[in-house]
Amino acid sequence: MTEVIMPRVTSPAAYSAEIQRRVLRDISLSDEAHAKEGDTFCLITQRWWQTWSAFVNQDLPISTNNGPSSEHQGSSVSNTLQRPPSIDNSDLICRSASENSPEFEIYDTLVEGTDYILVSEKMWNQFYEWYGGGPALARKVITRGSSETELTVEVYPLRLQLHLMTRDEQYAIRLSRKETLGQLHMMACEVFDLNSDQVRIWDYYGRRKHALLTEMDKTLDDVNIQMDQDILVEVIDQSGSNTTAVQVNGDSENHPLAFARPSRTNQSNARGSSANNGISRSSHPGLSQFQNLSFAKDKGSTSVGVSTRGSCVGLIGLLNFGNTCFMNSAIQCLVHTPEFASFFIGDFHKEINWQNPLGMEGELAMAFGELLRRLWAPGRSAFAPRAFKTKLARFAPQFGGQNQHDSQELLAFLLDGLHEDLNRVKQKPYVNTRDVDGRPDEQVADECWANHISRNDSIIVDVCQGQYKSTLVCPVCDKISVTFDPFMYLSLPLQSATPRTMTVTVFCCDGSVTPVTCTVTVPKLGRCRDLIQALSNACSLKQNEQILLAEIQDHMIHRFLDDPLMSLSSIKHDERLSAYKIPLLMRNSMYLQFVHRREDVETSTWKLYGTPLVYPVSRDATITRGDIQLIAHTILSPMLKADNSDANTSSVASNPLSTNNDSEPYSPFKQNDYSLIKFPLKLVDGNNNPIDISAEEEKTIKLSSSSMLVLLYIDWSPELVKIYEMHYLEYLPEVSKSRHGKKKARVEPVSLYSCIEAFLREEPLVPEDMWFCPQCEERRQASKKLDLWRLPTVLVIHLKRFSYSKTVKTKLERFVNFPLGDFDLTKYVANKQDLHPQVYELYAVANHYGNMGSGHYTAHVKVCLLLSWSSLFYEFYLLLFSENKWYNFDDNHVSPIGEDDVKSNAAYVLFYRRMKTDDVSLSSGAQSSAD
């Protein structure tokens, strides 16, 4: 890499701690004043550096809570620590130098301030003169940043794999990202001993020719060459044609050998994480490794010589290399979670559970930690997270390939996978769940949480997991079951703001009014109860009446829509509905369904037509054939033509619905009037045989005790049709007939609070997920009510924008007005003994633009700067502070945005962080703008 001329080693005994501090101070000040591109820096193991720092600082005054100690007190402990041994950098090296590779290879996962520190070449020479040891690990200073004015140390030069296909040879090289393509070309020729005039080099990622590298004056950085990238060395003959068997698309035509991608040294090991994108962390004034020395009193002049003033960490984009925007968006949100950043920057490998059978052998955590560290390195050079994508596809093949995927599904997998890889519980104990047995909710909830933590304990649980209360009620026996379950994120329903108009014909069973067709407006994704309420208002429903809603198919009732929580999205636009006004509290009832038929002259057969009519009766009632005749006249009486209205006066006067005395069996009529026109009625028995009931009016009809519907045919003769206004029965409109040219309804925003309330609203279980009631000992479609009980530090909220049905997949574009700060969930927490305010602040948003087929993901992130600093006693910490600036991460493009740009109808996953109590008390307490 870079050769360092070693000075002569002298005994450090001749130099006291005070002299060593002064010498290093002078060198540091000189380096700060003359730092430039091309300077050499060397790595020193953090372990040795801490030993030396303790030695030279032991005679300094020590401050206490009672004030600074005297100089005499400080010197009283002088020379209690021994001088450091010779420098030993072996714990940084993963591969020693050899004849083929004279360079020392260091671990890919070293972190400045944790594993090593950087010193200038002059400092290294001075240390070597005093202590000896080594080896010297020299690195060059390069310029970075958009203006190319920021100086930083290139700790990890690019490692490239050269492929010479004609000889079936491969060779790994190290090259600075500031070297030119011309220098890469020249090195390739030297490595394979080729004539430079006959060599071309290609970007050969994925064994495909992506680009011919011809602009020799451009740097590797300029053409976006990344770490561990493949370079194809192509030999051309004198005629200009290539002699490589590889075609332009990268597929071999003549070469039978399939080359495996070369193994990469220590890409995943137990030491830690990333190569930091190959760049050293900032040596910002006041934050250098020499801040703990006595000469570091003047803040602002303590740099070791390389400064990245103005450089902002955490602003590195990710390249899109084949529909990976879904992954890039999720990663940016996770790595900018402060708790995760501080954890993975630290020594996280100690918490990896390598033996967890539910985990990914620690490899997912290692890969994520490496990726996070690279994204928190200084500079703005985007890179492609290919190694992470490969590891992800290994454990989750559904995210492999080049297809687009759901960012929220990836987030769910990552959080769960990282939890298992970092689970501190090595042997999960058996947990015996106790019944509630009337115990207080607080006691049961704490017990369930303790049981959960005994088996699941990780940084993911600490930060992201909460607990909710789930209440199930059996619809038959009213059995109540209460459980307390953990959650990682909340998936909130998102109703469409576009209203839906639905047309339904309402029939009155008591014969008081003619049928009326009502067109009502309901929420597009509303419930059946919304439609019933709208119809009740439209037809002026009385207090003692209710609406019975039915779906009509082939002129018969296909089903009753009697579940008030049924989604209206299950009703298609071309379906036909009818509604029937019936008594409100009619017990043990069943329904007579009058289905209309008329004769087909050509075939002399009776065919169904029109809309069926419904009349409720009690199962306990004694009904005669004459009663059925009078019921038919009653429900059809409003449709009599004017000149025939007198024929039905008596039936209208004796309203059968008015008789419903619970003290005696229900009978629709106390007296019969057989002077009316007789309808040709046929009763369909259990064997589907029609029985004529037009004669023998006094004969009792035996109704089925198991069926809800009793089927009756009314056969309409031409003469009978002339007496009635048949258009009321013949035409039943579609539910939602398309109206071309109609102005699109205005889409209103929805508050995030209303989404929370919809999530917590009582809902019936879907038929596929029915609950086994222990009291009934049968599966029941119980109602389920969720309550928030324990909220996590970081609350991840998924807005359910994607709607799936058997035939249609749609995306809901509704704008959700979510608060950026002061998101107060205190009143939604069911645990009233928790008196702490539950107020959150937004720090990241994963966005989805476009439709189901061609969407694109981005992320809005409120970036915090992640810096390292040292105390007076050589201890290293992580410091997080908010810059209060939002940025848009659109793959490799990172740009600042205003707070007004954070909210959009593309918001898909929201990341909230609980505010500290002091921050909450300082807020105005006003309700968020999201209300």
356-390 pLDDT, tens digit each: 999 988 999 999 998 998 888 765 578 889 889 88
638: left (phi over 0), alpha (psi -120 to 50) or beta: alpha
According to CATH, the topology of domain 17-56+85-154 is: DUSP-like (3.30.2230)
Is 207 exposed, middle or buried (CB count within 10 Å of its CB: 0-12, 13-18, 19+)? middle
Instruction: Count other Cβ atoms within 10 Å, centred on residue 169.
Output: 12
CA pseudo-torsion sign 882, 885, 890, 891: negative
Per-residue pLDDT, 320: 87
- In 218-269 the beta strands, taken as DSSP E runs, fall at 229-235
- In 129-247 the beta strands, taken as DSSP E runs, fall at 133-134, 138-144, 150-153, 158-164, 169-175, 199-203, 211-213, 229-235
Question: Rounded to whole angstroms, what are the CA distances from 141 to 24, 98, 821?
Answer: 20, 25, 42
Residue tagged 């040596």 (tokens): 283
Q: Which of 325, 528, 539, 864 is catalytic?
A: 325
pLDDT exceeds cutoff 80 at 675: no
Least confident of 50-54, 559-563, 853-857: 853-857
Please state the rounded mean pLDDT for residues 336-348: 91
Question: Rounded to whole angstroms, what are the CA distances from 802 to 331, 494, 813, 850?
Answer: 21, 9, 9, 12
Question: Rounded to whole angstroms, what are the CA distances from 640 to 422, 594, 626, 720?
Answer: 78, 17, 20, 10
CA distance 276 to 620: 82
What tokens appear for 138 in the block? 């020299």
pLDDT exceeds cutoff 90 at 794: yes
The answer to whether the beta carbons of residues 484 and 436 sit under 8 Å apart is no
Per-residue pLDDT, 909: 96
- Of the two residues 264 and 409, the one the predictor is more confident about is 409
- Of the two residues 908 and 648, the one the predictor is more confident about is 908
According to CATH, the topology of domain 158-235 is: Ubiquitin-like (UB roll) (3.10.20)
Identify the DSSP state of 689. Answer: -
Per-residue pLDDT, 654: 41
Strand partners, 876: 870
Element housing 558 (H / E):
strand 556-560
Q: Tell me the pLDDT tens digit for each residue of 860-891.
A: 999 865 443 333 222 333 334 445 689 999 99
Per-residue pLDDT, 245: 38
By DSSP bridging, strand 138-144 and strand 150-153 are antiparallel
* Confidence label for 523 from pLDDT (cuts 50, 70 and 90): confident
Residue tagged 């039943």 (tokens): 732
pLDDT exceeds cutoff 50 at 248: no
Residue tagged 């060395």 (tokens): 233
Q: Tell me the pLDDT tens digit for each residue of 460-510.
A: 999 999 999 999 988 888 888 899 999 999 999 886 556 788 999 999 988
* Of 409, 419, 408, residue with least CA distance to 464: 419
Please state the rounded mean pLDDT for residues 85-95: 85
Please state the rounded mean pLDDT for residues 242-250: 40
Q: What residues does CATH 3.90.70.10 cover in the chain?
A: 456-483+747-925
Mean pLDDT, rounded, of the chain:
77
pLDDT exceeds cutoff 90 at 454: yes
Per-residue pLDDT, 368: 94
> Angle at CA 484, nearest 5°, toward 480 and 486?
145
Per-residue pLDDT, 55: 83
pLDDT exceeds cutoff 80 at 921: no
Least confident of 649-663, 687-701, 777-791: 649-663
Least confident of 35-39, 272-276, 612-616, 927-931: 272-276
pLDDT exceeds cutoff 50 at 313: yes
Please state the rounded mean pLDDT for residues 633-637: 91
Q: What percentage of the chain exceeds 90 in pLDDT? A: 27
Q: Tell me the pLDDT tens digit for each residue of 138-188.
A: 888 887 654 566 677 888 888 888 988 777 788 888 888 888 999 899 988
* Of 385, 336, 392, residue with least CA distance to 365: 392
Per-residue pLDDT, 240: 52
CA distance 337 to 894: 17
Where helices occur in 422-516 by DSSP H, the ranges are 441-455, 459-464
Q: What residues does CATH 3.10.20.90 cover in the chain?
A: 158-235, 499-640+676-730
pLDDT exceeds cutoff 50 at 614: yes
pLDDT exceeds cutoff 90 at 840: yes
Please state the rounded mean pLDDT for residues 224-251: 62
Element housing 721 (H / E):
helix 718-721
Per-residue pLDDT, 268: 34
According to CATH, the topology of domain 456-483+747-925 is: Cathepsin B; Chain A (3.90.70)
CA dihedral 248, 254, 257, 263 (to 10 degrees): -20
3-state helix, strand, coil in the chain (%, to 5): 25, 30, 45
Least confident of 187-201, 320-334, 748-762, 793-807: 793-807
Active site includes 864? no
Q: What residues does CATH 3.30.2230.10 cover in the chain?
A: 17-56+85-154
CA distance 78 to 17: 9
- Of the two residues 267 and 196, the one the predictor is more confident about is 196
Element housing 856 (H / E):
strand 856-870
- Of the two residues 279 and 724, the one the predictor is more confident about is 724
* Confidence label for 64 from pLDDT (cuts 50, 70 and 90): very low
Per-residue pLDDT, 423: 95
**Residues sharing a CB contact under 8 Å with residue 606, sequence separation 6 or more, in sequence order:** 597, 598, 599, 600, 713, 715
Per-residue pLDDT, 173: 87
Active site includes 325? yes
The CATH class, in words, for 499-640+676-730 is alpha beta
CA distance 19 to 317: 46
Per-residue pLDDT, 157: 85
Identify the DSSP state of 601. Answer: T
Per-residue pLDDT, 84: 85
Per-residue pLDDT, 150: 66
42 φ/ψ angles, rounded to the nearest 5 degrees: -125, 150
CA distance 310 to 150: 8
